[in-house]
Amino acid sequence: MDQLLRELTLEEKVSLLSGEDFWSVPAVERLGIGKLRVTDGPNGARGGGSLIGGVNSASFPVGIALGATWDVPLVTEIGAALADEVKSKGAHMLLAPTVNIHRSVTNGRNFECYSEDPILTAELAVGYINGLQGQGIGATIKHFVGNESEIERTTISSEVGERALREIYLFPFEHAVKKAGTWGVMSSYNRLNGTFTSEHNWLLATVLRDEWGYDGIVMSDWFGSHSTAPTVNSGLDLEMPGPPRDRGQKLIDAVKAGEVTQETLDKRVLAMLRLMDRVGSLDDHRPFVERADDRPEHRALIRRAGAAAAVLLKNHGILPLTGNGSVAVIGPNAKTAQIMGGGSAQLNAHYRISPWQGLVSALGETRLSYAPGCTNHRFEPLLRGALTVEYFANQTLSGEPVHVGTMEDAQAFWIGQVAEGKVDPLHFSARISGAFTPEVSGEHRVGIYSAGFTKVFVDGRLVADAWTHWTKGRTFFEEGCDEVVGTLDLTAGHAHEIVIEFATKDFATLGLAAFACGIGRPMGDAEISEAVAAARAAETAVIFIGRNGEWDTEGSDLDGILLPGRQNELVEAVAAANPRTVVVLQTGGPVEMPWVGNVAAILQAWYPGQEAGNAIADVLTGAAEPGGRLPQTFPVRWADNPAHSQDREVYPGLEGKVRYEEGIFVGYRHYDKLGMTPLYPFGFGLGYTDFSLSDLVIDDSAFESDGRLVVSLTATNTGARAGATVVQLYVSDDASGEPRPAKELKAFEKLHLQPGEQRSVTMLLDARAFAWYREKARHWLVEAGSFTIRVGQSSADLPLTGQVTRSTTLMLPV
């Protein structure tokens, strides 16, 4: 590497520190240095296409679903499979995993993150990274650090104390560096305590490199660099995407002016060369090819992982479904496969299996009836069908189009090359035309939202106008407006002409142009009555409700955790008609459940990837165990959450700041502190068999000398069928000199046991498991005194306890 570094010119060195385009770092052909390519994750490898369309890819369970598995070997296996996916897209790095903490239940990106707990998050991240990098594909753990909400995320300052940072928010990144040796770290968009993380010297130099010994690269989030010399000097190696905004000639000039030293520049370049060597791009000169590689083994893994993630929250003897009775399949998510969240994690899946399809395969269609009941969409259903697109090399739709193309549906995410390069991607206009033929006559709603100016005309009449009074909203990563909706009556069987006019506008942070247009028919009392009739006529009613990727999405937090639309009303009505009602929830986090006492069973299925319906049907029918346990506490109501406050600076933020007032008391730590009983506790989940834990033994022979413990116990499957459980170990500091949580998860193990099988479980704890971080002294401290070890199957079910004591304090370095 050193010899190659010496051969590079200043211009060539600078070229390696920023993207050439949206997904790649340029080659240096003179020296035979190949191009480095990256692709979005974390629940698949989308490849070089935009967020919409593109080459088909495998869609794996989302982050919170992987968090719910509590299964490090399984997540490692998924990481290795994702390495295959990245290779099929001609890339060398995956922009994953996402390890930000579930601080608030309303964060729009919680679905993409593992947990509210740093230990669970960290261990799963290590498995994911080991799986990826074991196959030669670089991981890019993100977002470093403090991106726990999506509101004003590109500018807001996350105000977080150092103790909370060290104990909660930095911990997964530290684990990834020290235990997995991650090759990539992505800085977050936000500021941390006033300074953008992409130029935060304490974060990138002091903590990451000096204290943790990191030797990989730090790349910016897309358009997340805000300066030239400050980012380079602080430790940001790579500005993405390209062409560069802050580097290129600006960096060349900064080096010549002495604002960036040659030594600092060489450190950044050497890190890039080291990465390119690790991932094999240094000598990769193959033609760029993207494949839609639909592998049977990946299909099987996704299906297995989806079942392993499903959390059975309630079961009054109704699941698994047995016998030959009829089943009413009800709800807005029944015939729609909700497989992933929205934003940069979305991709064009090979296929999508809906719960209806899964149940048809498992039970046969003759046993099933169907009623939608109500809707749960945030935006009107996407207009689909053949559409013609005329592109204009101006922003006024004037003159002759410079290019004519087609669309399969009325949505576009234009970034990079547009219209085969015949228009400036930030300064153009387009006219999209087609037809919509309704199935039912009557009132319809036409919705449009866009990062740009848009109007929708139906049969020549302006129906929805997001142009004249365009206002910034919460779509398209906060570059778009909120949906504008108009209503009109349409005639069944008649092809109504649809024309959408679009023009680009100045962007705030992210240089993109986008729109989506939908047409839908409102549902009302008649549809709920139809669902009630179906439920009453069937032996069992299964309601598929929740949210979708319009709600759980990057770039937009939720307003609360009530189910959208009339879904709660639907559940109440169906449960009143049939006591054998099962609720299947698909969300990226908790929801309030006012009907919890009225239904027989509740299954949380998350967004489990392209095999969603098959995985859900496997669990409902007993072909697979509901293997998941909650990675996030489910509160009774949104107001119980630790981030909920009357002080807007605490959440959602005020005047450019969001203050982490709760400090270390995140998730279950908060509920324990207040003595508050949640709806469902962290780590909770039922199965189709029972387990007992016994014979707790604590070996504390090394506890006084270096703070280590060995904890062992016996787990037994006491039920009649094979199943899974998670043994969870929590530590309590019985008399700390500073406020500490009542208990903290410090170790866990996922077990799969046959009926009657016993297994010994051994868990090792190091000194950090007992330490807290002293901000002023800048070290970790294990205090003298007693600690209680608690072991069980959820944070609220810890029957095995033991106590250990040390007589001296132990100070640990950062």
DSSP states of 214-244: --SEEEPPTT----SHHHHHHT--BB-SSS-
DSSP states of 4-50: HHHH--HHHHHHTTB-SSSSEE--BGGGTBPPEEEEE-SSS---SS-
N residues, the chain: 814
Which residue has tokens 């990946």?
Answer: 298
Q: Please name which of 94, 107, 118 lies closest in space to residue 190, comparing C-alpha atoms.
A: 107
**Phi and psi angles of residue 185, each rounded to the nearest 5 degrees, phi first:** -135, 135
Distance CA(143)–CA(141), nearest Å, equals 7
Q: Please name which of 25, 65, 162 lies closest in space to residue 629, comparing C-alpha atoms.
A: 65
Query: For 621-700, where are the E strands, in sequence order?
Result: 657-659, 691-699
Whole-number Cα distances in Å, 438 to 280, 387, 413: 53, 16, 26
Burial class (CB in 10 A: 0-12, 13-18, 19+), 217: buried
Query: Which member of 221, 552, 557, 618 is catalytic?
Result: 221
**Contact present, 473 and 449 (Cβ < 8 Å):** yes
Distance CA(38)–CA(80), nearest Å, equals 16
* Range list of H helices, 475-594: 525-537, 567-577
CA angle (159 as vertex; 156, 164 as ends), nearest 5: 135
The two three-digit tokens of residue 152, written as one number: 């004003």
The two three-digit tokens of residue 673, written as one number: 């502190």
221 catalytic residue (yes or no): yes
- For 615, the enclosing helix (H) or strand (E) is helix 612-621
User: Which residues are catalytically annotated?
Assistant: 221
